[in-house]
Copies of this chain bind each other. A is one copy, B any other.
Amino acid sequence: MEPRRHFASDNNAGIHPAVLEAIAAANVGHVRGYGDDPWTERARDAFRRHFGPAARAHVVFGGTGANVLSFAALLRPYEGVVCAASAHVAVDECGAPERFAGTKLLTVATEDGKLRPSDVEAKLHGLRDQHHVQPRMVSVSQTSELGTVYTPDELRDLARLCRARDLLLHVDGARIANAAAALGTSLGAIAGDCGVDVLSFGGTKNGLMGAEAVVFLAEGLGADFRFVRKQGMQLASKMRFLSAQLEALLGGDLWYENASRANAMARRLARAVERIPRVRLARAVEANAVFAILPRDAIAPLQQRSFFYVWDEDQSEVRWMTAWDTTEEDVDRFARDVAEVVGAAP
């Protein structure tokens, strides 16, 4: 069977060959479970190289787990999280933050998926009033759910506000590699260097089979995290096979190569489709997401050729994601499909 690639999501892609090799290479004999193994130690070292010597990374199964346990580890249940109304934690995690951590999300409508300091300030009321959830954390998605990227300056501005108002800054970094690649920075330059306190580090969307990490960056946070992780059902017994993936990603440049490739393919796709009549880019293409507005009648026939998701039914807006394995041929073929189908649409 000829491998097929589409543009539905970066988590529809498979495993990068080097990651699969790393899993195989870790498959030697018996090692202690639950993270007391050399692969996990090396993965934690790799996080320290990227995020600074004080970074404490803890491997978890998935992104929802990483986000929810970041909250559960650092917040009391009456403390709230300010986030964008479009944030993954608010929209796509089936109420897991509320259920497990008791956390109320204090959401702000945004134009482009990105929170500004003024958005946060607008939620800082009812302070010290026992009837109100107390804002205690700001959570931003990097890249945002709308494919936009926070610059280091923007993060620093948020962190400055957080320090001033005794808030913690969390980054949902399911696609932090795409953000760093887009900005041309290191990973640390958009995390601890900017004053981020805790990071959900995403590997799965960037070429892993499945592994994420909660990374505590600020001092004094998360000392009891291993209990939170176990109680939160995110402790892998054969952890070496998750850690080996993260080591493969972060030990060299794979994180960057995968993310850069995905980003470049998104730009290529954007350039190709914006030339097609009746197709309009709905948002700036800053990382690996392309949002486009198509003639309504073109959507279903195009999905027949290659699966993707409609983002906003009312606006006839669709989302196309590129991945670490997207090729120029994939993009060009898909752009031709778009042109054909849109051209044929009534």
Question: Is A232 positioned at the interface, with any CB of B under 8 Å from its CB?
Answer: yes
Residues of B within 8 A of A226 (CB): 130
Q: A227-B94, A236-B62 are in contact. Are A12 and B31 (CB under 8 A)?
A: yes
Secondary structure class of chain A's binding surface, majority of residues = loop
Q: A3-B28, A23-B23 are in contact. Are A78 and B237 (CB under 8 A)?
A: no
Question: Is A5 positioned at the interface, with any CB of B under 8 Å from its CB?
Answer: yes
Taking the full assembly, how many copies of this chain does it contain? 4
Question: Which of A96-104, A182-190, A292-300 forms contacts with chain B?
Answer: A96-104
User: What residue of chain B has the Cβ atom nearest to residue A80's Cβ?
Assistant: B95
Question: Is A144 positioned at the interface, with any CB of B under 8 Å from its CB?
Answer: no
Question: Which of A13-21, A152-160, A263-271, A281-289 forms contacts with chain B?
Answer: A13-21
Residues of B within 8 A of A242 (CB): 210
Residues of B within 8 A of A6 (CB): 30
Measured CB to CB, the closest approach of chain B to A272, in angstroms, equals 19
Q: A130-B229, A131-B93 are in contact. Are A33 and B12 (CB under 8 A)?
A: yes
**How far, in angstroms, from A133 to B90 measured CA to CA in the complex?**
10
Question: Is A91 positioned at the interface, with any CB of B under 8 Å from its CB?
Answer: yes
User: What residue of chain B has the Cβ atom nearest to residue A76's Cβ?
Assistant: B224
Query: What are the 6 closest A-B residue pairs judged by CB atoms, nearest first?
Result: A3-B29, A99-B102, A94-B230, A11-B237, A78-B227, A130-B226
25 contacts between A and B (CB under 8 A): A3-B30, A4-B29, A5-B29, A12-B30, A14-B28, A20-B24, A34-B131, A61-B62, A62-B235, A76-B224, A77-B95, A78-B224, A78-B230, A78-B231, A94-B130, A94-B131, A94-B132, A94-B230, A100-B100, A130-B230, A130-B235, A204-B238, A209-B238, A210-B237, A210-B242
